[in-house]
C-alpha cells in the first residue's frame, strides 16, 4: 500500500483544472498566494503577506502551470516582471467574476516538504444544502464558492 506521503500532490492538477474551467467559460482566473522568500513577485504589491495574481491569457505571457511552480511574465504598473510562485504557496484559485474556485491550506513553515506533507486537500466546503459563503467578505476580499 502506498502511503499518503509518497503520493504526488493533487494541488497542481486541481489548479490546472480550475484554470481551464475559468478560461473555457470566459472567466478571469486569479490565484491568491501566501508570499514568503520563495515567491518571486514585485514586493510593493504584496499586502499582509499575500498577493492576488491575474493569470489569464490576456494578463500573462509564457504561462507555465507546472507541478512545482507557476511561472509567467506580466506587467505591474507598466513594468515587465518575471513571476515565479511555488505551488505549495498557492492559497486559492478562483474566477474573479463570481468567486467560484478552490482554496488550499498553506503552511507558514518555510519548508516546501512540510507544506506539501500537510493535509494537501482542498479546504472543506459546506455540505450540500448549506448556503455557500458570500462572494466577498466584509473586508472586500473575494471569498470562494464551491464549484459544482
pLDDT at 21 over 70: yes
Residue 123, SS3 per DSSP: coil
Q: Which CATH number does 28-117 carry?
A: 2.30.30.220
Query: Where do the DSSP E strands lie in the chain?
Result: 29-34, 50-54, 61-65, 69-76, 79-86, 90-95, 101-103
Contact 91, 104 (CB under 8 A): yes
pLDDT for 124 equals 43
Report the distance separating Cα 145 and Cα 123, nearest Å.
11
pLDDT at 16 over 80: yes
pLDDT single digits (tens) 93-136 = 999 999 999 999 997 765 444 433 333 444 444 444 444 444 44
pLDDT single digits (tens) 62-83 = 999 999 999 999 999 999 999 9
Lowest mean pLDDT among 25-29, 32-36, 102-106, 132-136: 132-136
State if pTM tops 0.75. no
Amino acid at each position: 500500500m502506498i502511503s499518503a506521503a509518497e503520493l504526488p500532490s493533487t494541488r497542481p492538477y486541481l489548479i490546472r483544472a480550475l484554470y481551464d474551467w475559468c478560461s473555457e467559460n470566459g472567466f478571469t482566473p486569479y490565484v491568491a498566494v501566501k508570499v514568503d522568500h520563495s515567491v518571486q513577485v514585485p514586493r510593493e504589491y504584496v499586502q499582509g503577506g499575500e498577493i492576488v495574481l491575474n493569470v489569464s491569457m490576456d494578463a500573462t505571457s509564457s504561462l507555465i502551470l507546472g507541478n512545482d511552480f507557476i511561472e509567467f511574465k506580466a506587467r505591474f504598473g507598466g513594468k515587465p516582471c518575471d513571476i515565479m510562485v511555488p505551488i505549495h504557496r498557492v492559497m486559492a484559485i478562483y474566477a474573479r467574476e463570481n468567486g467560484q474556485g478552490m482554496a488550499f491550506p498553506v503552511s507558514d513553515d518555510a519548508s516546501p516538504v512540510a507544506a506539501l506533507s500537510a493535509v494537501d486537500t482542498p479546504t472543506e466546503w459546506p455540505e450540500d444544502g448549506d448556503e455557500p459563503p458570500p462572494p466577498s467578505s466584509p473586508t472586500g476580499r473575494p471569498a470562494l464558492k464551491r464549484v459544482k
